[in-house]
Amino acid sequence: MATTMLHKHRVSVLFSFGRSLYRRINVSQGEFGLQQKCSAYSRPINTLSASEAVAEIKNMPDESRPMPAKKPISKAMKAYLLQAKNYDEFMKKQNTEFQIGRRHLANIMSMDADTMTQEDIDQAIEFLFPSGLYEPRARPMMKSPELIFPPKKAAEFDESGRPYHSLFYTMNPNFYGLLQEAVTEYVNLNKEEDNMIRKRISFNSDMKIILSGSDWLSQEKLSNLLIEQIDDAQYEQFKNVMLRLAEHPLSNKVKDFIMKYRYSLVNEAALAEIPKPSYEKDGRAYVTFKGARRKNAYADVTVHMPGTGKFLINDCDIEYFQDIQSREQITFPLIFTALLGKVDVTATAIQGGTTGQSGAVRFGLAMALRSFVDDKMVERMRLAGLLQVDWRTRERKKPGQPGARRKPTWKAR
Amino acid sequence: MIGKSVFRALNGKQEVVKRCSKIVIRASSTVPQMSLPSSSENSNPLPFFRSIQNSPSLHASNNSGQFYTIDPSIKKQLFLYGGIPKTFDELCNTFKETCMMIREPALEIMDYMKSTNFNNAATRYCLYGKIGTGKSMTMAHVLHYGFENSFVIVHVPWAPYWYKFPKEYSDCPTKEGMVDLPLDAVAWLIHFKNQNSHLLADPNLSVCQDWEWSKREITKKGAPLAEIVEMGINRVKYSTNCIEALLQELKQLSDLKRCKTIVVIDGFNIFFSDKTKIKTAAFEKIPPKRVTITSPFVDITKQDWSNGAVIVSVDDLAFFRKDQRNTHYPRGLLGPEGFEHLDPFIPIETKNYSEKEFHYCIEYFLERRWIINPHAASEEGRKELAFISNRNPFNLLKVTAPL
């Protein structure tokens, strides 16, 4: 009975807190919490996994029946094992329900339950329960329980209740572990520096790491990486320590370690894939960039090389845009790459207004022109902001006020 | 924009076209007070973009693209009450001269007119083309040609003015359901008198029949044509009737070979529109055909007379904004009724500048210091200007205004 109560309690907690659930484990000698996010449970830690723990729980001594004396299990471990068992049962039940629901849905929609994908389910739910709610997560959904209930973290301590990690009682073992690692590296570098001075080896700038083009991970990203809540002071501490390491004259030797906690400012993957031009029957090279966007407009742009400077948008010349600004937008990539009059451009733009369409064509044109210029120019185009999608869109109007941000005029009475 | 500023910083050179304000014409006060070289005063040989011939009769295809100067006195006589676009007129004030480019459509019309057999019915030319390509300027050029060759000029500078911005309107006393535009009619008569002041004294131009305006006011057969004009100007009430009589007389006189007549009407398609701003006493908006001033001008574009030429232009801008048809072809703009009326005619298209015309125009702008930015004169600058303006004459003017 107690088990089911606990079970119910757990479920209700799960529903009420969702992802940001904090789990607490009671230990006989007072109470301490593992202040961790559930989503972080998947991190591989050198401990028992949940399934192993469940296997173990089957061999657990039944308290009602006396058994031969065995290695004592700490209360913390017992509580953990019990909860692991409950969790597994709960997930099993949820999974069965999901499978039944899935078959029902397949019947309703006259689809094949075996080949039904999650995408089909989403579409069916949207069709059967149309919702006008603004927040997508608030709308009705039907997903595999693994996607809704976060996986559970394995135990961080052994049967006797002794933690595996030496920094367990700092409550942020991974974070302080990282700091300790950084300091260790720093000390090692210092030793090497001493050696070099002793051997009279000169230093050069190549030995120091170059930090331009990348930045430290944000507080949130670092939190996710370490699976620990990191507060502002700790983040500040992290940056100071890492910066000190990076400023060491030999810091290039620990480049891999430092770069693990930095991210590149350039989307290298996107830039690296410059398409090779295709060829028409008459031997002209051409490149098409599809789906360029700005505001609500979309554009497909094809560039032909060599050309005579023809420009066609939606089967109309540049006078398609009546205002000069839009025309300038389109001209900019061509002038920048000095290809004005040397390529032919054909574009189709849909939706949106003048600014949106011209912006979309500009971006598509710049992306397509990459294939006809050298790497140096591509880098210059990137720096000029030509290869950057402008994601800004119109902000929605809010109810109860006249605009997105504007409030009604204040009147005394 | 971030991109632009970075570009400037990187490239180290300025972009040629900057954002252009909506005010196209630079106020004269902003122009540096320097003496613009006048073509007549200049003792040096004319630059290549200027034509030696200032007489339209002598213009030939080798002058195409060059600029010719209109004498101020002629300009005053021909275009005092309209006839050249306002933007161009203001530009002329800035440049201190009236210089027009000699372009293909005008040369074509003048070429046809030179080889026309004037014994046949009046030839009709219909100018069409996109906005800003030079329909009105072509008409002005041809008008100058007609003026030089002693044609009697029947010129409507912009027909839609009558229907869009009528000065005053009243119900016609003689024809039921029709509306008079007395002041506009008088204004047009003054325009006519001004343009043909050198011809109206000609004794050949005498009235062919009696015109009875009222019991006491009668223009007798044999009286000079100017009498009808004066009558209309002095007696506002009969101004529209006078126009009707005048145009009928001109048709007859032309038929009798006593004069040659050139009819030039800009925005002709408004006559076949179904909407005006003019209201009757019952507050209903009436179509142009119920305005008395329409019928004489529609009538004179018929082919039932000889020894003359009719040049009309069709323009999408002639319509009210709501009714604009997004086309520049005569078939779409005239509608079935108008097209049937005008058919057969010689269609003449005005186009954007050719490569040569574009460069001549830039050279002219540089000479007049309309373009001061040195980058605009460079090859890249010209390329950019050509691309952005699409070599459209009006667009080019707009784009170069802030340079």
**Block residue for tokens 């590296």:** A185
Question: What is each CA distance from A294 to A389, A393, A403, B333, in whole angstroms?
Answer: 7, 8, 22, 36
Average pLDDT over residues A142-164: 78
User: Does position B188 have pLDDT exceeding 80, yes or no?
Assistant: yes
In the 8-state DSSP scheme, what is residue A78?
A: H
Q: How many CA atoms lie within 13 A of A183 on its CB side?
A: 8
Residue numbers in B near A324 (CB within 8 A): 17, 19-20, 388, 395, 398-399
Q: Which residue has the higher pLDDT, A241 or B33?
A: A241
pLDDT tens, residue by residue, B110-142: 999 999 988 989 999 999 999 999 999 999 999
pLDDT band at A269 (very low <50, low <70, confident <90, very high): low
Reference B98, options B31, B24, B23, B40; nearest CA is B40
CB A387 within 8 A of CB A271: yes
pLDDT at A30: 34
Residue numbers in A near B7 (CB within 8 A): 332, 336, 384
pLDDT at B43: 55
Q: CA A300, CA A390: separation in Å to the nearest integer?
A: 16
Average pLDDT over residues A245-270: 85
Average pLDDT over residues B370-389: 91
- Which residue from A minimizes the CA distance to B13? A336
Q: CA B270, CA B163: separation in Å to the nearest integer?
A: 8
Whether B10 has its CB under 8 Å from any CB of chain A: the answer is yes
CB A280 within 8 A of CB A286: yes
Q: CA A155, CA A146: separation in Å to the nearest integer?
A: 20
What are the structure tokens assigned to A411, written together?
A: 């009147």
pLDDT tens, residue by residue, A179-205: 999 999 999 999 999 999 999 999 888
Apex B310 CA angle, B304 and B311, nearest 5:
155
**Domain segments of chain A: what residues?**
2-148, 168-264, 275-383
Strands (E), B141-229: 151-156, 170-171, 179-180, 211-212, 218-219
Residue numbers in A near B1 (CB within 8 A): 385
pLDDT band at B105 (very low <50, low <70, confident <90, very high): very high
pLDDT band at A46 (very low <50, low <70, confident <90, very high): very low
pLDDT at A211: 86
Residue numbers in B near A317 (CB within 8 A): 390
User: Does position A136 have pLDDT exceeding 90, yes or no?
Assistant: no
User: Does position A24 have pLDDT exceeding 80, yes or no?
Assistant: no
Q: What is the average pLDDT score of chain A?
A: 82
User: Does position B30 have pLDDT exceeding 70, yes or no?
Assistant: no
Percent of chain B predicted with pLDDT > 90: 46
User: Does position B358 have pLDDT exceeding 90, yes or no?
Assistant: yes
Distance of residue A330 Cα from the nearest chain B Cα, in angstroms = 9
Distance of residue B76 Cα from the nearest chain A Cα, in angstroms = 34
pLDDT tens, residue by residue, B12-24: 444 444 444 444 4
Whether B384 has its CB under 8 Å from any CB of chain A: the answer is yes
User: Does position A226 have pLDDT exceeding 90, yes or no?
Assistant: no
- Which residue from B minimizes the CA distance to A319? B390
pLDDT at A89: 93
Average pLDDT over residues B186-195: 92
Would you list the DSSP string of B245-293? HHHHHHHHHHHTTS-EEEEEETTGGGGG-S--S-B-TT--B--GGGBTT
pLDDT band at A267 (very low <50, low <70, confident <90, very high): low
Q: Do A331 and B2 touch (CB under 8 A)?
A: no
Output the CATH code of domain A275-383.
3.30.230.10
Distance of residue B19 Cα from the nearest chain A Cα, in angstroms = 6
Q: CA A380, CA A387: separation in Å to the nearest integer?
A: 10
Q: Do A324 and B3 touch (CB under 8 A)?
A: no
Among the four given CATH numbers 1.10.3470, 1.10.8, 2.40.128, 3.40.50, the one describing domain B120-350: 3.40.50
Q: How many CB atoms neighbour CB A34 within 10 A?
A: 12
Q: Which amino acid is at B370?
A: W
Q: What is the average pLDDT score of chain B?
A: 85
pLDDT tens, residue by residue, B198-241: 888 888 888 888 888 888 888 888 888 888 899 889 988 889 98
pLDDT tens, residue by residue, A295-319: 999 999 999 989 998 999 999 999 8
CA A108 to chain centre: 36
pLDDT band at A43 (very low <50, low <70, confident <90, very high): very low
Q: How many CA atoms lie within 13 A of A139 on its CB side?
A: 14
Q: Do B383 and A318 touch (CB under 8 A)?
A: no
Q: Do A328 and B388 touch (CB under 8 A)?
A: yes
Distance of residue B7 Cα from the nearest chain A Cα, in angstroms = 6
pLDDT band at B73 (very low <50, low <70, confident <90, very high): very high
Contacts of A75 (CB under 8 A, 6+ apart): A26, A27, A28, A161
Residue numbers in B near A331 (CB within 8 A): 17, 384, 387-388
pLDDT at A55: 54
State the ipTM, two decimals.
Answer: 0.78
User: Does position B7 have pLDDT exceeding 70, yes or no?
Assistant: no
Q: Do A324 and B19 touch (CB under 8 A)?
A: yes
pLDDT at A271: 59
pLDDT tens, residue by residue, A331-381: 999 999 999 989 999 999 999 999 999 999 999 999 999 999 998 899 899
Residue numbers in A near B23 (CB within 8 A): none
pLDDT at A66: 54
Question: What is each CA distance from B58 to A273, B115, B361, B378, B389, in whole angstroms?
Answer: 62, 14, 21, 34, 31
Least confident of A22-26, A98-102, A151-155, B197-201: A22-26
**Domain segments of chain B: what residues?**
1-27+363-403, 120-350
pLDDT at A11: 36
User: Does position A6 have pLDDT exceeding 90, yes or no?
Assistant: no
User: Does position B10 have pLDDT exceeding 60, yes or no?
Assistant: no
* A396-412 residues labelled b (16+ CB within 10 A) or e (exposed): eeeeeeeeeeeeeeeee
